[in-house]
Amino acid sequence: MYIYIYTHQLAQAHQPTTNPAARPQLKVKEAVVSADEMVWWIYVVVAVLLSIGREGCRVEGEDVVTYDGRSLIINGQRKILFSGSIHYPRSTPQMWPYLIAKAKEGGVDVIQTYVFWNLHEPQPGQYDFSGRYDLVKFMKEIQAQGLYACLRIGPYIESEWTYGGFPFWLHDVPGIVYRTDNEPFKYYMQNFTTKIVNLMKSEGLYASQGGPIILSQIENEYQNIEAAFHEKGAAYVRWAAKMAVDLGTGVPWVMCKQTDAPDPVINTCNGMRCGETFGGPNSPNKPSMWTENWTSFYQVYGGEPNIRSAQDIAFHVALFIAKKGSYINYYMYHGGTNFGRTASAYVITSYYDQAPLDEYGLLRQPKWGHLKELHAVIKNCSSPLLEGVQTNFSIGQFQQAYVFEEGSAGCVAFLVNNDSTNNATLQFRNNSFELLPKSISILPDCQNIIFNTAKVKTQPNKRITTSSKMFDAVDSWEEFRDVIPNFLDTSLQANSLLEHMNTTKDGSDYLWYTLSFQPNSSCTEPVLHIESLGHVVHSYINNKLSWTWEP
């Protein structure tokens, strides 16, 4: 009698344990099965109310990028910059020009992306920058369309990406401890960071070379776990910052959610409400920057989509600007697709589908249009916002005014109504205004309301999906047969179930275990006992399914 046990383990975004999941008293042999085959459903996706593009304004040539306590400074000019996250491997090269063009049309100045270590270095020293992984091509498309780029190298990125972007082979480096003052980890982190920086330099892609990259990021939300490493955590932060700066990119570096970011690295905010939660830069000489304004949220299997309204996003963008913020990135502006096995555990294939550009790159209205209008209003006020003197004062129980005055050159005011239920009627500079609940009114001349975050003019659209092809014929399907390993031919033997990811080296989500068992007359009711932390176990006896276990 042959017993076959088939286990399925979802890839985790965390470092796997090296301890076996269980130790049943069985002689087990094992084979690894690839799971690259999949069935795709094809849909035609229809969106309504597409808009027309507009011309860009970026000037080619070498750019000098610095900063002060007010903003980034490009070629001597302070800038208010709106940025949008578009991750190159979550879409296709054919989509990149369209996505970037739509971001630009929506008033975005910067395209922000992570760099995905496990895609680019699947094995130590073996690099892949082809197809969807062609980072250079993506950067050059950004440049061709007259936009800037923010390159978040990490190389730990989280991003609901398998292992947070770390290649699995890193797990097997002797003595390694991730993201701390650990020599093996620092060696490989520096090696990959240097590889990416040198690649960008070789293609002339940093702004200091005439390229689009005006910012780079090292690490990612490290302060969330820094205390767990005690003094080694702080030492690692200092090392990472120095390592990055010493690479000589000619552009500033940032660390997100890192209040102890060492000079000259800029600490930035992530979240939905940084105008309320951000404590500000850790130095008066650094600008206030928001690297992740979450336009919705990732979704897990069985979960509901996170719907964040255009009004709420606009309110918090305007509030951040009113509090002297000068760089805001939408995470995501286009989420795209988690192809293959790239998503972290339980995260669905579609990523941030509620972003201004949906999974397919279609406009998500009114979000896209409302933010476009806000961007235009803010940019028209950029001179007093960046060069003027700010004052703020109460104008009601739940109302606040933020005013920027640049002498006789200009004045702009933000009137904030924090009351989420009631309108507010108030006086400001001898004029009477009625403010909508939970809204910010922008007055570019301190006299007339031009934009209110709660008043949406863009018409909502609706996405409709229909089948483009019916898969109702036998010849339309392909069958994938999973080869069951032969007990006598397997090379890996153990007397217990093995830790899944350590065994497959992330090459498969699946494992077969085979057991040869010959019952005798005294064993009338044999019992197979399995202790496992796997997500799914199927058991077959003599090639027939006997039972399935799921948690």
Residue 468 is encoded by which pair of tokens? Answer: 């483009």
Which residues have a Cβ under 8 Å from the Cβ of 303 and sit 6 or more positions away?
none
C-alpha R_g of the chain? 27
- The distance from CA 190 to its chain's CA centroid, rounded to whole angstroms, is 22
- Crossing angle of helices 367-380 and 310-322, rounded to 10°: 20
3-state secondary structure of 296: coil
Q: Which residue has the tokens 């609706």?
A: 462
Residue 92 is encoded by which pair of tokens? Answer: 């296709």
Q: Measure CA of the first residue to CA of the last residue in the chain; give whole Å.
A: 28
Bridge-based pairing state of the strands 110-114 and 148-154: parallel
| Active-site annotation holds for 292 | yes
Output the 3-class SS for 216-271: EEECCCCHHHHHHHCHHHHHHHHHHHHHHHCCCCCCCEEEECCCCCCCCCEEEEEE
- Identify whether the C-beta of residue 151 lies closer than 8 Å to the C-beta of residue 115: yes
Residue 23 is encoded by which pair of tokens? Answer: 């130790």
| Active-site annotation holds for 499 | no
- Identify whether the C-beta of residue 76 lies closer than 8 Å to the C-beta of residue 64: yes
- Identify whether the C-beta of residue 256 lies closer than 8 Å to the C-beta of residue 220: yes
Separation in Å, CA 341 to CA 36, 38, 110, 113, 317:
9, 11, 29, 20, 34
| Side chain identity at residue 373, one-letter code | E
Which residues have a Cβ under 8 Å from the Cβ of 388 and sit 6 or more positions away?
404, 405, 406, 407, 409, 410, 411, 412
Q: Which residue has the tokens 């035609």?
A: 44
Q: What gap in Å lies between CA 363 and CA 106, rounded to an integer? A: 10
Residue 337 is encoded by which pair of tokens? Answer: 């697709």
Separation in Å, CA 382 to CA 106, 109, 309:
17, 14, 25
Catalytic residue (one of 203, 221, 387, 499)? 221
- The residue among 338, 353, 340 whose CA lies nearest residue 91 is 338
My answer on whether omega of the bond before 444 falls inside 30° of 0, hence cis, is no
Catalytic residue (one of 141, 160, 226, 292)? 292
Task: Tally Cβ neighbours within 10 Å of residue 17.
Answer: 12
Q: What gap in Å lies between CA 422 and CA 405, rounded to an integer? A: 29
Complete DSSP assignment for 55-100 = ---PPPS---EEE-SS-EEETTEEE-EEEEEE-GGGS-TTTHHHHH
Residues serving a catalytic function are 221, 292
